[in-house]
Chain A
């Protein structure tokens, strides 16, 4: 029993001593895992190396890698959480963590937090400082705060060739947002009530509108035929009349839903473009 505990103590002591020294080797291996794209394996390994045994500076590297691997696996919240443990000992790691947290907050639609994260950076110069500006503008655009974007525009430094095209894209998206006139679901519904298919025409979907017109027309004509020949209580009239009603109502409802979807899709596609214009320069500057 005593021998066992003596051995344990000895082993633990040597383990702690060696681990701190072999740290660089461990980091080399983690970097290797990153290079071959084995992010799950990397996370497993990082979990296994308990951070308690490392110095503060070394812990930062661990958290940095954890954040990075989670990011590559698109685990936004765990990534942000790991990055938040990175201390401000090293400007590079601190800024890296802040900027990647920022973009992930943007993807999570937490735009204020994204802006806060970008503002947390310290001692930025040159292109990296310009990237921070790009992030702020991007997030304001995501919040649809077009006046803020207009206000910030003069501060864009277009002499940075890396950012020129991204700035131009963002300004173009700003213009698109300002000029966009969303279709009204209410108007679509009312128009479809007047004439089946008219709501779809209003939306711009000529094909679907024509289809609606034809199908309701088919049922309408058959209902009419039934009414004329057999009277209002006949089976024919009732069946086709009911089908007509069903399609008529469905068309109204369908037009309303369709317009809502169309508006939502517009916003989604704008958001995607904004995020891409932020993400690409980020990946280029902070590899």
Chain B
């Protein structure tokens, strides 16, 4: 039944862009999001009263609700030409959010700088995004300082902030992990933060050396050479490569941890 009334509104909607926009808004409210997006495009197509930017924002918002962040971002990027400060600010703010949601962290940071240059103070939402972005770029000290200087705005005390960021964490260098494991098997994995994997690797390789030696000593040359030495060779270089991978994995895991804590703390604020 409501669909029928929608079609009736559509009748009037064919005439003016403004009416189409209203139609799109109604569709959005009843949850017909994809259809709303089409009708925003329709309004854009017939736009004669300069509502282009507003319509782009609405359409982008719809795609955001559908979790199609890439599409939402593309929609906003169609905005061109002069606009008043308020609309421009809104568009930039949304662009920053979407840029973060599509994991373009470097670009998000640049846009945040641009925003600050143009409009000065960041809103609470944007501060949160900046903290998260800095964290993704592994700049935890800067992220922490940002939170501390805006502690009031994000409503966190020093204790809570300290709890989010680990005491002294430096990024693990994958190349260093690789070299360490070449130097002494197992050390690289330990450096990357996985102690027991390092021990295991070291033991396996020591075992293989022993096995090779035992065989060759007793005259089993083929076995000692092929199974023993060849396997050792595999584990030796493989272990070093694995240590490198583990370092990268550790870095990512810590970043994700911090970001999760940040989000948890900040969401906690919103729902008392």
Interface residues of A (CB under 8 A from B): 8, 11-12, 14-15, 18-19, 22, 25-26, 28-29, 32-33, 38, 40-41, 44-45, 48, 218, 221-222, 224-226, 229, 236, 240
Q: Are the CB atoms of A32 and B45 closer together than 8 Å? A: yes
Residues in A neighbouring B37, C-beta threshold 8 A: 41
Partner of A225, one of B42, B45, B220: B220
B183 contacts the other chain (CB 8 A)? no
The 15 sampled A-B contact pairs (Cβ below 8 Å) are: A8-B8, A11-B8, A19-B14, A22-B14, A25-B14, A40-B34, A44-B38, A45-B42, A218-B226, A221-B222, A221-B226, A225-B220, A225-B221, A225-B223, A236-B220
Whole-angstrom distance between the alpha carbons of A26 and B45 in the complex? 11
Whole-angstrom distance between the alpha carbons of A8 and B46 in the complex? 27
Interface residues of B (CB under 8 A from A): 4, 7-8, 10-11, 14, 34-35, 37-38, 41-42, 45-46, 219-223, 226-227, 230
Q: Are the CB atoms of A226 and B11 closer together than 8 Å? A: no
Whole-angstrom distance between the alpha carbons of A11 and B12 in the complex? 10
Q: Are the CB atoms of A41 and B41 closer together than 8 Å? A: yes
Question: Which residue of chain A has the shortest Cβ distance to B6 in the bound complex?
Answer: A48
Partner of A229, one of B11, B41, B220: B220
Partner of A226, one of B7, B10, B38, B223: B223
Residues in A neighbouring B227, C-beta threshold 8 A: 222
Whole-angstrom distance between the alpha carbons of A225 and B223 in the complex? 8
Whole-angstrom distance between the alpha carbons of A40 and B34 in the complex? 9
Residues in A neighbouring B8, C-beta threshold 8 A: 8, 11-12, 15
Partner of B223, one of A44, A48, A222: A222
Residues in B neighbouring A11, C-beta threshold 8 A: 8, 11
B215 to chain A, nearest CB (A): 9
With A15-B10, A41-B37, A41-B38 known as contacts, the answer to whether A229 contacts B219 (CB < 8 A) is yes
Closest A-B pairs by Cβ, 6 of them: A15-B11, A11-B8, A225-B222, A221-B222, A41-B38, A218-B226
Question: Which residue of chain A has the shortest Cβ distance to B44 in the bound complex?
Answer: A32
Q: Are the CB atoms of B11 and A45 closer together than 8 Å? A: no
Residues in B neighbouring A38, C-beta threshold 8 A: 41
Residues in B neighbouring A28, C-beta threshold 8 A: 45
Whole-angstrom distance between the alpha carbons of A40 and B223 in the complex? 63
Q: Are the CB atoms of A18 and B223 closer together than 8 Å? A: no
Residues in B neighbouring A12, C-beta threshold 8 A: 8
Residues in B neighbouring A22, C-beta threshold 8 A: 14
Whole-angstrom distance between the alpha carbons of A45 and B39 in the complex? 8
B60 to chain A, nearest CB (A): 14
Q: Are the CB atoms of A18 and B41 closer together than 8 Å? A: no
Q: Are the CB atoms of A236 and B10 closer together than 8 Å? A: no
Q: Are the CB atoms of A48 and B35 closer together than 8 Å? A: yes
Q: Are the CB atoms of A18 and B35 closer together than 8 Å? A: no
Residues in B neighbouring A15, C-beta threshold 8 A: 7-8, 10-11
Most buried by B among A40, A44, A45, A222: A222
Residues in B neighbouring A45, C-beta threshold 8 A: 38, 42
